[in-house]
Amino acid sequence: MSRLSPSLWGLEFVLLAALWGASFLFMRLGAAEFGPLPTAGLRVLLATVFLWPVMVWRGQWPALRRHWRAIALIGLINSALPFALYAWAVMSINTGLAAILNATSPLCGALIAWVWLGQRPDRLRSLGLLIGFGGVLLLAGDQASFKPGGSGLAVLACLGATLCYGWAANLTRRHLAGVPALALACGSQLGSAVALLAPTLMYWPSQTPGPQAWAAVAAIAVLCTGIAYILYFRLIEHAGPAKALTVTFVTPLFAVAYGGLFLGEALTVRMLVCGLVIVCGTALSTGLIRMRPQLDTN
């Protein structure tokens, strides 16, 4: 298997972060006219249409057929629920804030692995969990308000989505290890499309959405889901899961930039500081930052 050159690896890494950062902008634009549930439903349906021929071309259809029940469950947890939650949340909070909260996904994965799978973290990773969730509490305490018209429920929706991502990652690791990546990606989107079909039809807007909303939904499906999945799995294959995981930390930078450019959203100092705390805690809890062992000079 040929390896990606460092320059090409870096280019694909930045492109993936840019695509995932744009997903929050496209969700806001799509949900403004379609509503959250139809936006999520169209996203996974169009992503399935895009990914299906690629999966068949790569010869991964038999793997999907063998594991379709488990893959469909992963799709519900990893796509249908979080996509709907984020599409609803970005209607009332900044897309940059949603992206910062999304950076806690690896943190939630590490916590669930500890509680559910018994993968007890060492002291450094435990410290990372405390730091990361401390950053979440500081950020939520400033942004979340449960008064009428407040954003508290939207913040909780984002955190619920990250818990879904963490749960799905551990389910995949435990029950679907060795299943080809494209079979997982395409099958999970198909399962999500089936799960969201009834809610999408039930909440379909009475007024026909305009071209901008359709373009946003198409972009989030093809670019931010279909192509992004392919890039992500290429990074895992050529650079390893630990390095590919760090794209979650870069995504908020693009989301904040898009929100400021196209939606006029402001980034507060508190959001920036709490975001850095969350990223540092997540990096510690997932083992991306390790203490160098001291050399014995005696």
Residue range 7-25: average pLDDT?
86
Helix, strand, or coil (residue 169): helix
pLDDT the model gives residue 170: 82
Query: By CB neighbour count within 10 A (0-12 exposed, 13-18 middle, 19+ buried), where does 7 fall?
Result: exposed
Among the listed ranges 17-26, 82-91, 241-250, which one has the minimum average pLDDT value? 241-250
Residue range 276-295: average pLDDT?
68
pLDDT the model gives residue 64: 94
pLDDT the model gives residue 157: 93
Taking alpha carbons only, the member of 201, 190, 228 closest to residue 76 is 190
Residue 231 lies in a domain: yes
Q: Do residues 245 and 288 make contact, with C-beta atoms less than 8 angstroms apart? A: yes
Contact partners, residue 36, CB within 8 Å, separation at least 6 = 84, 87, 88, 91
Contact partners, residue 172, CB within 8 Å, separation at least 6 = 74, 78, 184
Residue 298 lies in a domain: no
Q: What is the pLDDT of residues 219-235, one digit of tens each?
A: 999 999 989 888 887 77
Give the whole-angstrom CA distance, residue 128 versus residue 132.
6
Q: Is 261 left (phi over 0), alpha (psi -120 to 50) or beta?
A: alpha
Which segments of the chain does DSSP mark as H helices, in order?
Answer: 6-34, 36-57, 61-66, 68-75, 81-89, 95-102, 105-117, 123-143, 152-175, 181-202, 211-221, 228-239, 241-245, 247-263, 269-285
Residue 294 lies in a domain: no
First to last CA, the chain: 44
Q: What is the pLDDT of residues 46-97, one digit of tens each?
A: 999 999 999 999 999 999 999 999 999 999 998 999 999 999 999 988 888 8
Residue 245 lies in a domain: yes
- Which one has a higher pLDDT value, 202 or 5? 202
Residue range 289-295: average pLDDT?
54
Whether 37 has a pLDDT exceeding 70, the answer reads yes
What percent of the chain lies above the pLDDT cut of 90? 41
Taking alpha carbons only, the member of 196, 191, 187, 244 closest to residue 217 is 196
Q: What is the pLDDT of residues 82-141, one digit of tens each?
A: 999 999 999 988 888 888 888 877 777 777 877 777 777 778 878 877 887 787 777 766
pLDDT the model gives residue 295: 45
pLDDT the model gives residue 41: 97
Residue 291 lies in a domain: no
Provide the domain limits for residue 83. 6-285
Q: Do residues 133 and 281 make contact, with C-beta atoms less than 8 angstroms apart? A: yes
pLDDT the model gives residue 7: 62
* pLDDT band at residue 288 using 50, 70 and 90 as cut-offs: low
pLDDT the model gives residue 17: 87
Q: What is the pTM of this model?
A: 0.84
Residue 214 lies in a domain: yes
Q: What's the structural domain count of the chain?
A: 1
Residue 293 lies in a domain: no
Contact partners, residue 293, CB within 8 Å, separation at least 6 = none
Whether 279 has a pLDDT exceeding 60, the answer reads yes
pLDDT the model gives residue 202: 97
Q: What is the pLDDT of residues 156-206, one digit of tens each?
A: 999 899 899 888 888 887 888 788 888 988 999 999 999 999 999 999 999
As given in the structure block, the two tokens for residue 188 are 């999970």
- Which one has a higher pLDDT value, 259 or 10? 259
Tell me which residue has tokens 């500890």: 114
Please report the DSSP string for 242-279 in residue order. Answer: HHHHTHHHHHHHHHHHHHHHHH-----HHHHHHHHHHH
Residue type, 38: P
Residue 297 lies in a domain: no
